[in-house]
Structure 1
Amino acid sequence: MSSGVATSAESPTRRAVSTARRVVVKVGSSSLTTAEGGLNEERLTALVATLARRVAAGSQVVLVSSGAIAAGIAPLGLERRPVDLATQQAAASVGQQALAHAYAATFARFGLTVGQVLLTADDVVRRSHYRNAHRTLQRLLNLGAIPVVNENDTVATAEIRFGDNDRLAALAAHLVGADALVLLSDVDALYDGDPRDGRASAVREVSSAEDLEEVAVGGAGSSGLGTGGMASKVQAARVACSAGVPVLLTSADLADSALGDADVGTVFATTGPRLSARRFWLAHAAGASGRLHLDEGAVSAVISRRRSLLAAGITGVEGAFAGGDVVELVGPSGRAVARGVVAYDAAELPDLIGRSSHELPVEQRREVVHADDLAPTH
């Protein structure tokens, strides 16, 4: 990792963020709301002004905004962020309305139109929903509008939640074909320890997983208003970078610089090529209905040589899935190495696994998971 602040001219990653034509910006609850609940209009206005300047400079912007639940706390007379799902949903229904109105009115001052896009995890787990979300976001951008994306907290249940908007932002960045992702929170950079103890140093650039080996990342933010923390932001950055999208992480107070010369915070360099929408969906968005356990030879074939998975390399089957479902492919160590669309029902596989193709009936000699339907997850 680098030691000193790299300027956008010195760092290809910072330069990529500063010149990105299409950028996704995620802002956390603590950057938009007061400690008591309710919107902080001054902070929201400052953020919108910064985004408007980036649009005026020629970029397209997608805003992933937290804050709906937090914005509903004060209007409902609640003393703190609710912990039960029903009250969270009630707060979101009030707060989301306030948030959407504030964004629409504030962007309008700069002659910009916004479109609200509320998503649940189901909208990216289900392939047809994923395609619909993609089309909607692309059309909004092509029409010159700014999509404002948030998790649909009003209807989301524990089983279908993203968990935090950092992951949603990483998924949205690929969904819209973004050139960069900017994560804004209440911390100015990633640190190699707790920044509150005065001894930690900022990590200015992350170019590989090895750069994070000695970095301790914490849980939720200190304000108590959000659900994400530094760990979720680092994980979101990894997801985006693995699919070819560079990331900048800094505080909302530094948004001007983050969306200007990108000479602040921590940047994460891309670690993989830009994935097709289908492969990204398989690797990061799709829900897995079961698991196939592979021997070492099969792992090497599907990961290193990009081959299809055959029955001979499978050692075990878990779950109740049908042909066409997404399953995890697991190596001998128990770690998932890929995801793919399985061609057989779970009930069909026990009689096939471990057998070479020539040992199987002609109608069962097809691939268990075709190479075109596989995506590595590491």
Structure 2
Amino acid sequence: MSLPFDLRPNPHPRPTAEREAILAAPGFGVSFTDHMAVATWTGADGWHDSAVVPYGPFSLDPATAVLHYAQEIFEGLKAYKHADGSVWLFRPDQNAARLARSAHRLALPVLSEEDFLASIDALVAADVAWVPSAPASGASMPLDNEQSLYLRPFMFASEAFLGVRAAQRVTYCCIASPAGPYFARGVHPVSIWISTTYTRAAAGGMGAAKTGGNYAASLVAQQEAATHGCDQVMFADAAEHAYVEELGGMNVYLVTSDAELITPELSGSILEGVTRDSILSLAREFGLTPVERRIGVTELLEGIDSGWVAELFACGTAAVVTPIGTLKNEQGTHQVGSGQTGETTAALRKNLLDVQYGRAEDTHGWLRRVL
């Protein structure tokens, strides 16, 4: 039996007019719904005190462990409204499994899949008015205008103590935010800086866990990319700086002229993305051979220059699929094909969105209905 996430209604929800104004132009990660799902874990009592409560700040002691030792993890997934008004999640079981793997790596308690899904179901039900509307029946949503309810489950060490050990009090929370495209300018090819100064994660580290420290480590490299006029940063491996790993927050794929769809193999330092796995599953439906292997930085750049790499894109829950137009490093600039969005990239992106929004048949059983 799952934890009971009973609703404690917010006595002061956003006025309808304010909510509708937000939904008309939600942006990404800037506005939040009226409620949040919470639960507490202690070493003595396990998971308890679960509920959907009014959205609001946490009160933290200055000695709260997460502030000093960064013991925290998170997830990201979306709720999609279909044309008939129903609301669905995309592969939430994979997010639950990854949260559990991250918990193991950060010495945090595991929240069961059943409890993870119960928290999300209860929160979406409480704030269903915040789920952006689906496009009109028969309409095709523009590739740069998808909207959804972004869900952010997270867990952190909330025990107040100073000392390097696993916390004995942990807080779980899930918040929700109506979201438009991740990139404000929509779906356009991005420019990528290949960093050899900084690395995201190393073998034996936390690269395969979804934890804030990995993203914090990417920020200075992102600033480095910006100084070179690039939108995002691509990391190489920590040992040799010779092999492609991932972007600051997305996995990477290349489409070759001989119909291979190649992505760096999971080596313990790369996040196992849900979108990444979905694209691997879709590859053969698009006449592509999926390949997971090490990709040399030199191999990639030479492949772009020769035309062997026909398309390059990044993927993740927030941005879905993002075309990459150019790569830059200290030696120069390398344009991928025409520098525009490739046909395969656009087709894979459209297919994923069509399944998520109920415009195409879910032949893989990836969708889970909430309401």
Under TM normalisation by the shorter chain, which class is it? Answer: under 0.3
Superposition TM-score, scaled by structure 2 size: 0.26
Larger Rg: 1
TM-score by length of 1: 0.25
Q: Determine which structure has the larger helix proportion and give its number.
A: 1
Structure number with the higher strand fraction is: 2
